[in-house]
Each structure stands twice: as structure tokens, then as C-alpha cells.
Chain A
């Protein structure tokens, strides 16, 4: 019973982190699916989302508004708007002018953008860790108080539910809406979609905006869950989310979700049963193994050579 509770606790920890990895991974995978480039500045967009949310929360608090649902919704909307415009602007400034050139050029442009945004926040907000207010506190406890107690906090529940809503909305959007259909068309064949009258530039911008908005959601959730943010935290999260996207099959949206969850659980079980020191070793070994046996990732489709 004890061991089972311990295992479930580590599983919950892993799924919590994993679902936020998934939210960030969507941005990588959608952009890759459509224009075949890796947007290295995506982690920074997520970090900017978290900063915006924190600024909004602090702003509301100074205005005397503390009603939790309102604070969360306003913070979420602010973060999504700022991050989306940032995502849009990054594409417009750094990627569109070099689109269609050699593959390395947009990649380098993306790395440059990532460094630029990171240092911009360093300068604007300072390099110190900033505490994030714990807005959602408390939770459920399972098990008897004298032995190991499993805890499921309201914050973790919020993360699960929000992720679930975002993922379902995205799936519906991609499969049902006009823009979603256009997205799928563009990812299959950009040139052909263009010929058929789809405004591909708009669709590509839309992908960046959607990815950035989801990253902003993750930024707010993780900021509250962890308790502090700093200008570098987008980099590490971005790396993990990118790994999740590759693990699940880059270019595939369900793959990104699956990859995120697997990565989160693998990390948490490694820390729980081996040692926290091996966390990254195990998750990256997992990545290498999967890529050895299934180079396109778990749910990725093999790339058909287009003639």
C-alpha cells in the first residue's frame, strides 16, 4: 500500500510536469510540421508568457483586485496576448525573410532570436529569481497520517484540467475549423496549398500565434506551480519540450502530447527510484533509444520524398 501510494505520487508529479512539457512541445511540433524548421526561440516565448502573467498578477494586486478566478483569467489573457504577438513578431522579423533559403539559415536566425529575447528580459526584468505568488493552495491527502501520505494539490489538478482543455480545443480547431484545415493542407504541401488559393503566410503566422499562446498558458501554470521565474527558465523548459516533441514524432500533435507525458513520467520515476542526478541521463537515453528504433519518433509519419 505504502509503495503503491509512493508510486502514484511520483506518477502524479511526472504527469503534472509532462502535461506542461506537452503544452510547450505543441509549438515546436506545429511549426516543424508546417515549415520544417525548429523554432529555438519558443522556450523564450514561454518565459515571456510567465513574466507577463506575473506582471499582470502584481498589477491587479496593486489595484486591489484579488478575486482568484478573475486574477487568473486576466493574467492568462494578458500572457496569451503578449506571447502571441511576440510569436507573430518573431516569425515576421526573423523567419519570414529567410524562409525558403538553406535550412541552416532559419535555424541560426532562431538561435539568435532566442539569445536576443533571453538577454532582453535579463535587461528589462533583472537576472534574479522572482517569486511567483502561490495563488492556488491546498489539496487532497491520501493515506494515513503516520505513514506516507500521497498529496494531490489543487494546483496539480488545475494543470491537468487546463492542459486537457487546451489540447481538446486545439484538436477540435485543427480538425474542424477552416484555418485548421488550411494548416493541415499547408503542412502536407506548402507550394500546392499556395496554388489552391490558401494564404500560406497567414497560416504560418497562425501556427506561431497558436504555439505561443499555448506556451503562455504553460508559463502561467508552471510559474505558479514552481514558485519562481528567471530569464533562463525558458531555455531549460524549451529543451525538454523539444525533446518531448522529437520523442513523440516531430510534426505530429498527438505525438507532442504523448512525448511530453512520457518524458515527464520518466524523469519523475528516475528521480523517485534511482536518483535525481540520473534524471536527464535517463530521459535523453530514452530519446536516443526511441530514435534508434523509430527514427521518426513514436507517432511521427515517415517523411515521403516529394518530387
Chain B
């Protein structure tokens, strides 16, 4: 090898700079950051599919102020470390608007970078309250908060008059946050919490936990976390004859839980955003997804679509593609979107967002519970 590394590096960075300069001329870049690979990639699929559709449709209608939107996609693997790398490279690439990230634990560290570097971020999926608690100007979401989802789950469990409830979480920001909210709601209603315990995400053996649940004689188990672990807990609980009703947040509500838990997934309770794809006013959009062979029913498809639309609407209303101006427009405006009328409070949270309790079935379908 005779080419020096230094020379090579200069050549590469020069060509990257050229490419970036070429792109920046007449386009508005929208970064889409979420998991393309890794254990929760199926949620990423929803996010990418929704955002791509919005960009496509906005461009088909003439773009934003004469400029085309260009989606730039980044894979954060739902890993906080990777999310920081992604956020930095996104800033380096000159992207000023981001739809993402998906996992709360990725969104949190990435949002620090976006806020510092003047990048506007709308997360379509992160529900941890902490994310908007830090007085950031450029952080928004198109989804509710754990503090909204937790009480819905807690109130539902309390309304069933359970004897004893166990709460298990995966020690991650999302899971533990939501589990804590459920616990607080139940305690406020005077329900006995028999157990509040963490497991390690990635673990496969839950026999000890299940034995403990049996011993504690609980009739409801709330799990804060994602489907890979809950799927195994359901399956192993069924094998050990644990007779309890399980409930989880929207992170467990996808069809992959059926491939892991099989029959044991029947009757699982899940709090989910309402099915936006079933709303009458969204039927045209649903058809557009179906025409592309994509499924718009996932919980994050239309929230991601909305995130892109809000960026576009914000730019139009501000009359500028400066993220700070757009943020001001988003904070003050009222927007009609597929997920309903959106208004933001000063923290960047939607003023109203509703969660519904569904019962999950072993064939992957779900029915609302009243």
C-alpha cells in the first residue's frame, strides 16, 4: 500500500463535502433516524414507511415553498451509543430537521445534540416524559407520554378489582418509566402492589421470575418494556401454569410477540394509540399505503407521517426553513393531521393524545376493550 492514509482521508472528506454541498442547494433534507436493524427493527419499519410516504406525497403536491423534501435515513439500532453517532453524523451532513428517534433511550441523548446544534426534532414514538422535561426549544413529539399511558393502564387494572398486582420492567428508560407511572396510579387507587422488579433486557430465562410471580399469587402482571422479553415471559408462564392476566404498553403490541409467545399471547392487554388507520378521514391515505404494499396499521406509521407533515407545515407557516422559526410556528399553531388536530404546549408535547386498551389475540389481531 503506497497511498498514505492521510491522502485518502483528505480525498474522501473532500468528495463528501462536495456531495453535501450539491444536495443543500434546492432541497430541504429531512433526517429519518430509527432502528433499521436490531431487535426492534419492526418499529423502525413503521417509522420509515410513514415518513417516506409523507415526503413522497408532499413532493407530489409541489414540495414546500417550491423546494423538494429529501429523506435521509439513519440506523440507530435502538442503541443510545449509536444514536449519538447518528445524531453527530446527521449534524455533519447539514440536516436541519429530524423525524426520530424511536426508542426513548436513543431519543434522549440524541436530542441533546440536536438542541445544541440547532436541529429540529420530532419523535414519532418516544413516550418517556423526561425527553421534553428539559426546557428544550427544538424537541417535539407526535405521540403521547408514558405519564398518559401509565394512568390508562393503571386505571384499567384498578377497575378490574385485582387482588394483587405485580409490576415488572426491563430497567430501560421506556420500560421503567412507564412501569413507575402504572405503579403510582395503582397505589393512588389503593391497589396492593405485590412486586416491583426489573429484569435485564436480552435475558431469555425467566423461570425464577415466574416462580416468584406464582408464589406472590398475583392476578395481574404489568410489564414495562418491549415484546422480545414479554413474549418469552408469556410463553414460559404458560408452561409453568401461572394463572395471571398480563398487560403491557404499546412497545409489546406487534405481531412478533405472536411468533415468540404463540398461543400464550391470547388475552394479553395492551395500551395503544387509537388505530388512526381506521378513521374515516384517513382512508385515502390508507389506500396509498396499500397501493405500495405497506401496512399502515402499525402504531408509529401515521405518527411518523404526521411528523414529516408538521415539519412541512411549520416551514410554510414560518415562511422560513430556519429550525428556530419553524419551532416557534409549531408551538403557536394548530395543525390538521392524520392523527387529529395537533397543538403543542411550551414543552413540545401535544396538548391531547389518547391511549386505548386493546386485547391482543394469538393470531396477531386486536380488539378494543371497553
Q: Which residues of B contact A180 (CB under 8 A)?
A: none
* Contacts beyond the supplied A127-B41, A131-B260, A276-B208: 6 A-B pairs with Cβ under 8 Å: A128-B42, A149-B214, A149-B241, A276-B199, A276-B200, A280-B200
Q: A10-B211, A128-B256, A148-B214 are in contact. Are A137 and B239 (CB under 8 A)?
A: yes
Q: Which residues of B contact A267 (CB under 8 A)?
A: 208
Within 8 A of B (CB), among A131-165: 131, 134, 137, 139, 141, 148-149, 151, 153, 155
Partner of A13, one of B203, B207, B228: B207
Cα separation A276 to B169 with both chains bound (whole Å) = 11
User: Any chain B CB within 8 A of the CB of A283?
Assistant: no
User: Any chain A CB within 8 A of the CB of B215?
Assistant: yes
Q: How far is the CB of B354 from chain A (nearest CB, A)?
A: 30
Partner of A226, one of B197, B232, B256: B232
Which of B204, B231, B240, B256 has the most C-beta atoms of chain A within 10 angstroms of its own C-beta? B204
Q: Which residues of A contact B214 (CB under 8 A)?
A: 9, 148-149
Q: Which residues of A contact B39 (CB under 8 A)?
A: 127-129, 230, 232
Cα separation A149 to B262 with both chains bound (whole Å) = 24
Q: How far is the CB of A198 from chain B (nearest CB, A)?
A: 40
User: Any chain B CB within 8 A of the CB of A184?
Assistant: no
- Whether A9 pairs with B241 at a CB distance below 8 angstroms is no
Q: Which residues of B contact A141 (CB under 8 A)?
A: 241
Q: How far is the CB of B213 from chain A (nearest CB, A)?
A: 11
Q: How far is the CB of B313 from chain A (nearest CB, A)?
A: 35
Partner of A129, one of B207, B217, B228: B228
Of the four ranges (under 10, 10 to 19, 20 to 34, 35 or more), the interface on chain A belongs to 35 or more
Q: A128-B39, A128-B256 are in contact. Are A228 and B231 (CB under 8 A)?
A: yes
- Whether B171 pairs with A277 at a CB distance below 8 angstroms is yes
- Whether B41 pairs with A276 at a CB distance below 8 angstroms is no
User: Any chain B CB within 8 A of the CB of A75?
Assistant: no
Which of A129, A153, A267 has the most C-beta atoms of chain B within 10 angstroms of its own C-beta? A129
- Whether B241 pairs with A10 at a CB distance below 8 angstroms is no
> What 1/0 flags go to B215-252 for Cβ under 8 Å of A?
10100000000001001100110011100000000000
Cα separation A287 to B200 with both chains bound (whole Å) = 20
User: Any chain A CB within 8 A of the CB of B209?
Assistant: yes
Cα separation A6 to B256 with both chains bound (whole Å) = 32
- Whether B197 pairs with A276 at a CB distance below 8 angstroms is yes
User: Any chain A CB within 8 A of the CB of B212?
Assistant: yes
Cα separation A272 to B197 with both chains bound (whole Å) = 11
Q: How far is the CB of B98 from chain A (nearest CB, A)?
A: 23
- Whether B198 pairs with A226 at a CB distance below 8 angstroms is no
- Whether B260 pairs with A275 at a CB distance below 8 angstroms is no
- Whether B207 pairs with A16 at a CB distance below 8 angstroms is yes
Q: A128-B256, A279-B200 are in contact. Are A268 and B236 (CB under 8 A)?
A: no
Give the residue name and chain of the A residue nearest to B36 (CB): A127
Q: How far is the CB of B150 from chain A (nearest CB, A)?
A: 21
Q: Which residues of B contact A271 (CB under 8 A)?
A: 208-209, 212
What residues make up the interface of B, taking CB atoms closer than 8 Å to A? 37-39, 41-42, 171, 197-200, 202-205, 207-209, 211-212, 214-215, 217, 228, 231-232, 235-236, 239-241, 256, 259-262
- Whether A127 pairs with B262 at a CB distance below 8 angstroms is no
Q: A131-B262, A227-B232 are in contact. Are A151 and B241 (CB under 8 A)?
A: yes
- Whether B41 pairs with A9 at a CB distance below 8 angstroms is no
Q: Which residues of A contact B37 (CB under 8 A)?
A: 122, 127
- Whether B260 pairs with A13 at a CB distance below 8 angstroms is no
Q: Which residues of B contact A76 (CB under 8 A)?
A: none
Q: How far is the CB of B363 from chain A (nearest CB, A)?
A: 14
- Whether A153 pairs with B197 at a CB distance below 8 angstroms is no
Q: Which residues of B contact A14 (CB under 8 A)?
A: 208
Which of B205, B217, B228, B239 has the most C-beta atoms of chain A within 10 angstroms of its own C-beta? B205
Q: Which residues of B contact A279 (CB under 8 A)?
A: 200, 208
Q: Which residues of A contact B261 (CB under 8 A)?
A: 131, 227
Q: Which residues of B contact A268 (CB under 8 A)?
A: 207-208
Q: A134-B235, A277-B171 are in contact. Are A227 and B260 (CB under 8 A)?
A: yes
5 shortest interchain CB distances as A-B pairs: A271-B208, A13-B207, A131-B259, A226-B204, A227-B235
Q: Which residues of A contact B262 (CB under 8 A)?
A: 131, 134
User: Any chain B CB within 8 A of the CB of A61?
Assistant: no
Cα separation A93 to B240 with both chains bound (whole Å) = 44
- Whether A153 pairs with B240 at a CB distance below 8 angstroms is yes
Q: How far is the CB of A284 from chain B (nearest CB, A)?
A: 13
Partner of A230, one of B197, B208, B228: B228
Within 8 A of B (CB), among A168-210: none
Q: A128-B39, A131-B259, A227-B235 are in contact. Are A13 and B211 (CB under 8 A)?
A: yes
Cα separation A134 to B265 with both chains bound (whole Å) = 14
Cα separation A139 to B171 with both chains bound (whole Å) = 32
> What 1/0 flags go to A2-30 for Cβ under 8 Å of B?
00001001100110110000000000000
Cα separation A171 to B270 with both chains bound (whole Å) = 50
Within 8 A of B (CB), among A241-292: 267-268, 271-272, 275-277, 279-280
- Whether A226 pairs with B208 at a CB distance below 8 angstroms is no
Within 8 A of B (CB), among A210-232: 222, 225-228, 230, 232
User: 25 A-B Cβ contacts within 8 A?
Assistant: A6-B211, A13-B208, A128-B39, A129-B39, A129-B228, A130-B259, A131-B260, A141-B241, A149-B241, A151-B240, A151-B241, A153-B239, A153-B240, A226-B205, A227-B232, A228-B228, A236-B204, A268-B207, A272-B211, A272-B212, A275-B198, A276-B198, A276-B208, A277-B198, A280-B200
